Structure 1
Amino acid sequence: MEKHLYNSKLGKIFWFVQRFGIKEIFMKPLRIIFAPLIIKIKKRKRFIFDKKEYSLFYSKYNITWANERCVEIPIILNYIRDKKMKILEIGNVLSHYFPVKWDILDKYEVGKNVINKDILDYLPSEKYDVIISISTFEHIGYDDDKVGNSSAKILDVLKNLKRNCLKPGGKIIFTVPIGYNPELDSLIKNEEIDFKSQKFLKKFGKSKWIEVTKEEAMVSKYGRPYPYGNCIMIGEY
């Protein structure tokens, strides 16, 4: 596993302040401390995505009720209900909430079933039926190794996944927050990623998420007016 600011305490603090603001240094620990109480009393609201109704997902880990994880997790889980599918997850997210049996590709994080390789170099012995990713693509070339252009690496990653990792007819499903990585936003806005489909969910109020148009989504700000992602894209590639 390579050394990286994610694995350095001081480096991680600096990165956190840079990406989320100094206020969150104090607010996030408070949310974690009061998580059991908040989850217990907070009403579990529902949202509509692609004409299907879901419940918001609340967990103490990564304070999901306060960020975009509350909608990303139930949406992605809906895509992998078929237990016979061979699945690859890009970025170690779902194993923090559920026992998982699929492969996880994460360059830095150590864990069960986690393969510590760069996504550009990954060549599996057997290809996958579906590749999923929750709020990971925005970090590619932007947080992991800020050298050159993030958008170029993201496009190369998608090409590698489709060519070398995905079975014919397979799907790549990923979510990203709008407004976090301006280079990725530009790819989405200018239609430089050949999506089969893309949809957007925007936050209106502390627990209200509504599907919006691309035009409405792309003017969203990260961290404003609510902490963390205020709008996400769900793309099928």
Structure 2
Amino acid sequence: MTNLEIILTSRKLLSHFRKISKEKGILHTTGVGIDRLFNFIYYKKLKRHNSTFSFQGHKYNYFYSFINSTWVSERSVEIPIVMEIVKKNQGKKILEIGNVLSHYFKFEHSIVDKYEIANGVINQDVVDFKSTEKYDLIVSISTLEHVGWDETPRDDMKIVRAIENLKSLVRPNGGMIVVTLPLGYNFALDKLLKDKVIQFTEQYYLVRISKGNEWREASWKDVQNAKYAKPFPNANAVVIGIIYG
């Protein structure tokens, strides 16, 4: 972890625990902190001997961060895959849908998040967001599954419109959209994928294989009936979709 990442993590943690302390009291906050710290140390230090996974012929380190407990969720595999692509596009025009990466990394990019209030975040619905410029890279980490699904009234087709809007924002002839989505969370999304209403230029899958949050690459046949939070907590299968401009 770089000095910058340590500073960012420390600031985020301090803000997070201050908020919990105000809401639930110092004793609750202390207990939560100790429990999370123990688990973080276990995954970050004790499991380092088995801390890599394979994706598309490359080995990645699992991403363990105290922020949002990435060591127990799909974030541990989504973030390293997406950040590898981000690094290859440094200096280009990058858009992120859903404020995820800025919690862990500092790099120049635009962020659209309808709900999260933070410096530099554009609070706008992804289906309505427009830009006069085209983006070289658009990324979204486990965000689009909430679009239309966790809204009132529910709109099962809104995610389709969201993806179409992203296509209009990416630079033609060289731009790229990279989206990760958990399976089993949004039943409408699962059906849209099965029926090929939502299609990516390239589509890959990862499946969780252990309580210790280990993952392996899989086929659509392996993941098409995946359940969310069963048999393991959080996502048990993830789709990585790529669309080229």
Q: Taking structure 2 as the reference length, what is the TM-score of the superposition?
A: 0.80
State yes or no: 1:171 paired with 2:195: no
Over 3 Å counting, the alpha-carbon distance change for 1:167 and 1:31 in structure 2 is: farther
SS at 1:155 equivalent: helix
User: 2-side partners of 1:58 and 1:33: how far apart?
Assistant: 12
Aligned to 2:206: 201
Q: What's the secondary structure of 1:71's corresponding residue? A: helix
For 1:6, the equivalent position in structure 2 comes to none
Secondary structure, in 3 states, of the residue corresponding to 1:167? coil
Cα drift, residue 125 of structure 1: 2.5
1:211 aligns with 2:217: yes
> Which amino acid in the other structure matches residue 188 of structure 2?
E
Contact 2:54 2:217 in 1 (8 A): yes
Aligned to 1:53: 59
- 1:180 maps to a residue whose letter is Y
1:185 aligned partner = 190
In the TM superposition, residue 28 of structure 1 has moved relative to its aligned partner by 7.8
Matched residue SS, 1:74: helix
After superposition, what is the alpha-carbon deviation per residue over 1:94-131, rounded to whole angstroms, capped at 9, x for unaligned? 01111132000001101222101111111113110110
- Tell me, yes or no, if structure 1 residue 79 matches structure 2 residue 79: no
CA RMSD of aligned residues (A): 1.9
Question: Could you tell me how far 1:69 is from its partner in structure 2?
Answer: 0.3
Q: 4+ residue stretches of structure 1 with deviation over 4 A? A: 27-31
How far does residue 183 in structure 1 lie from its aligned partner after superposition?
0.5
Q: Measure the CA separation in 1 of the matches of 2:115 and 2:236.
A: 26
Secondary structure, aligned partner of 1:236: strand
**Which residue in the other structure is 1:132 paired with?**
139
- 2:38 aligned residue: 34
Report 1:213-232 matches (<5 A): 213-232=219-238
Deviation at 1:33, TM superposition (A): 4.5
1:32 Cα shift? 2.5
User: Greater shift after overlay, 34-43 or 178-187?
Assistant: 34-43
Q: Deviations over 1:46-104 (max 9, x none)?
A: 11101111010100011111010000000001111221221000000001111132000
Distance in 2 separating the partners of 1:210 and 1:189: 21
Q: Aligned residue for 1:113?
A: 120
**Structure 1 Cα separation of the partners of residues 140 and 61 of structure 2:** 20
TM-score in terms of structure 1 length: 0.83
Identity over aligned residues, as a percent? 41
1:161 alignment partner AA: L
CA distance in 1: counterparts of 2:46 and 2:216, whole angstroms: 23
Could you tell me whether the CA contact under 8 Å between 1:176 and 1:233 is conserved in 2? yes
Cα distance, 1:36–1:211 mapped onto 2, change above 3 Å: closer
What 5-or-longer segments of structure 2 have no aligned partner? 1-18, 20-30
Conserved 8 A contact 2:202-2:241: yes
On the 8 A contact 1:45/1:207 being kept in 2, the answer is no
Q: Which runs of 5+ in 1 are unaligned?
A: 1-8, 10-26
Q: Could you say which residue in structure 2 is the equivalent of 1:147? A: 153
